Structure formats: C-alpha cells, structure tokens
Amino acid sequence: MRSTRVALTLTLALLAAACTGEKTPEAQQTGSEGPVIVVMWHGYTGIEAKVLKAMANDYSKEHPGVVISPFFYGNSSYALQKLETALAGGVYPDISYLYGAWGANIAQSPRLVALNDYVENDTEYDWQDFWEVERSVATVDGKIVGIPALVDNLALVYNKDLFDDAGLGYPSEDWTWDDFRDAAKALTDPAKKQFGWSIYGDASDDTTWRFMPFLWAAGGDLLSEDNSEAVFNQEPGLEALTLLGQMANEDESIYLDMGDGTSFGLFTSGHIAMMSTGPWDLASLKESGVDFGVQILPAGPSGQHATISGPDNWVVLDNGDARRSAAIDWLKWYSAPEQVMRWSLETGDLPIRQSVSDSPDYEKYLQEYPGIDVWVANEANAIKHLPQVPQYPLISEAIGNAVASVLLGAATPQEALDAAAQKVNSDLASG
C-alpha cells in the first residue's frame, strides 16, 4: 500500500474531462464489430507506467481483437472515492488498481467480479504461488476481490559511513529493540544536526505504516480477532509506542518528517543514519551514491521480527461478458511468472510470486538491485496484515494521530492509545 510510495499526484485528465465533457477511455468503447477494449485505471508514473504500457501492447499484439488501454487516474486517498463515484454513475473501468486496505470497501459493490472460480480453482494459474499475505489481503469473507498488483514491505536502510564513523557494527538479523535504540542514540549528534533514525510524524498513513511493525513485533494487533473492537491500546501497543516515545523525547534520536519527504535527502546527505523504507526507494538510493545497507527490522520483546507488507490489488468490474472475460484473461497473463519476472527486472519492484526466484533472470534481478534480496526474504516476516474492514482509513487516521502526539511529546503513550481506541470503537460500532 503505497501512500507516498507510488505517486500521490491526482490526474488532471479526469478533472478536465469532468469540466469539459471530454470522454475518458471507459466511455470510448467500440461498437459490436470493433475490438474489445479493456480499460485499466492505474496510478503508475515513470518507469512503471512505461513498462505497463509496453506489456499491454505486447498482450494486444498476441491477442487480436483485444486492446488493453491503461489510463492514469491518480494514486492517492481519493482513488477509492473516484472509483465509487464512477460506479455510482454507471461509467467505470474494467480493471482498477486499489490499495489492499480497501478490499472490504470494494467487496460491497455489486459490480465487483469475484475471482474465486477464475484463479483459485485454476491449477495452471497456481494461486498458492502468491505470498500468503497477498492472498489474505485479496480475500474478503471468502471472496477473492482482486489479483495481486504489487507487494511491498519495510526494512531498515542504514548509512554505512555513519556507522563506520561511530565505530558501530552494522545492523544484523539478531538486533533487538535495545540494540536499535542504543545505535540510534549513539548515531545522534546535535552539533552536526545528525539523527539516528527517522519516522513520519505527520499523523498520516505513513506514520501508521512505520508503527505497525513495532506493534506486531511486540505481539499486538490493531483489532480483536472478530474485528469488533480496538486492542492496540493493550500492553503490546503500549510497549511499542513507549519505545518510540522514549527515542523521540528522551534520546532525541528521531528526526520527524512532517510529510514533506525531507528525511530521504537528509539520509543520503549523511544527517540521518537509519530509516525504515521499502524497495520503492532503492533506485533513488542507488542514484544518490550513498554507501547503504539493508537489514530486516529489529526483533520485538519476544524475539519476533515483523514487517508491514502492502499488497495492492487489481480489481475487475463487470462491464458485460466480453469485457469481463478479456479483463480476467489479461490479468492472468500479466501476473503469470514470466511477466512478473519481466516487471520486477525492469521496474525494481518486488516479485508478487514466490516462484520468480527460480527464474533464469532472478540472479540478474538481484545484481541489478543490490539489497533487494533482503526485501524479498523479508516477506516471510509479514506475519500479519491490516484488517479488512471498511473503516480502515479511519483506524489508520486514529493510529497516526496517536503516534504523532507521542512523538511530539503532546501525550503519553497510554493516553494517546486509549483516545485512539475510543475513537476506533465508535467508528466500528457505527458501521
């Protein structure tokens, strides 16, 4: 789930279309004698958009009579609202990219095509080849609501030069929270405006994302097993937020990025020693020239490592038999192992299938993107996923506010978590 991880820019094309009456691609369908046009809404920019277009063209050449038409519609918190508005208006795409946390929202739409019979029961497609967390996020109450589009996770990226200067050993798989806190404190130097670690302190979904691995590593969770009430204000949540609060307010070893992305530049310029990030930053890290390393996040009090994984989905919407069939066939082709390896090799994104590691091109992929092997292996530490409830955006907001208030010294961990839990319980009760 990339909030600032793909592109947060809203497309002007849809806004222009709404104001001028210009038809967007989903309204420009051909007659019965023309090709079947599959309209695919996405939020990709840069190399990902280029590769998607090339793959769509390749599929269309191999499948005469079908045209895959990718269309950039933005990728932000408004994406779900846009799609819901399109569905309400009766003019919507055949395929849309949606954050995995929105699975429960789209599952309620009668226009959604459940994919169980198309993928789960197709032995050639091998649904089990996708990471377990991807399959879990794509499934809501037994209904497969989408095909995995992208998978991410958070690992610890560190500046080797700063560790060397401080005479510290690099982060290892054996690191605990104590090791992490001690290193961050040792790597903090106010005179140099240097911080040990950075986190988003703007109360956004990025703040929630960075907090979740600590909550899970402590053995906690957001909601009860039946998703009926908040449990993040129990002991594991208190342990996790207390750690972050101590680092921010006692050690002063945390740089708070207030949503403007300054932490990345400070990391590459030697003012931040460690940051929790995903493979979406890898290309920029390579270009920066900084000597960096990648390691899994430190283990919690019980010795458990955890990461948050952000599986997003391609959802299929019903525009009639021909378009529905073509859309599903394209997605099965696009997410087959051969195409997944091509996508990962050209974009640097993590493979959405486990079997890609058996591909002849996999070693080339690892060589092209140094450090990516840690993120691939780190999928095994995606021990939990975000709850599949329509209220998740409200839950994330409450968690983000709680974490930010503690990082800023405005509330104690227990006060912040209790207030957030009260808000979440109210939202869950209201339906």
- Per the CB < 8 A criterion, the answer to whether 312 and 150 are in contact is yes
Other Cβ atoms less than 10 A from the Cβ of 211: the count is 26
Checking if the pLDDT of 236 tops 60, the result is yes
Measured CA to CA, the distance from residue 408 to residue 163 in angstroms comes to 27
Measured CA to CA, the distance from residue 281 to residue 152 in angstroms comes to 11
Common-topology check for domains 12-152+310-381 and 155-309+387-430: yes
Assign domain 155-309+387-430 one CATH number from 3.40.640.10, 3.40.190.10, 3.40.50.720, 3.40.50.300: 3.40.190.10
Q: State the virtual CA torsion across 138, 140, 141, 144 in degrees, nearest 10.
A: -40
Short-list 384, 376, 386, 215, CA closest to 302: 215
Q: pLDDT-derived band of residue 76, with 50, 70 and 90 as boundaries?
A: low
Report, as an integer, the average pLDDT of 183-197. Answer: 98
Measured CA to CA, the distance from residue 112 to residue 25 in angstroms comes to 19
Short-list 293, 278, 114, 273, CA closest to 180: 273
Least confident stretch, 25-29, 148-152, 183-187: 25-29
- Model pTM above 0.85: yes
Can you tell me whether residue 121 is helix, strand or coil?
coil
CA distances 84 to 61, 68, 90, 126, Å, are: 32, 22, 10, 31
- Per the CB < 8 A criterion, the answer to whether 121 and 102 are in contact is no
pLDDT for 79: 82
pLDDT for 77: 61
Kindly report the CATH class assigned to 12-152+310-381: alpha beta
The residue ranking higher by pLDDT, 320 or 23, is: 320
pLDDT for 32: 55
Q: State the virtual CA torsion across 251, 257, 261, 262 in degrees, nearest 10.
A: -50
- Per the CB < 8 A criterion, the answer to whether 47 and 101 are in contact is no
CB neighbour list of residue 69: distance below 8 Å, 6 or more residues apart: 25, 37, 38, 39, 40, 56
Residue extents of the structural domains in the chain: 12-152+310-381, 155-309+387-430
Average pLDDT, the chain: 91
Measured CA to CA, the distance from residue 250 to residue 8 in angstroms comes to 34
Checking if the pLDDT of 390 tops 60, the result is yes
pLDDT for 34: 84
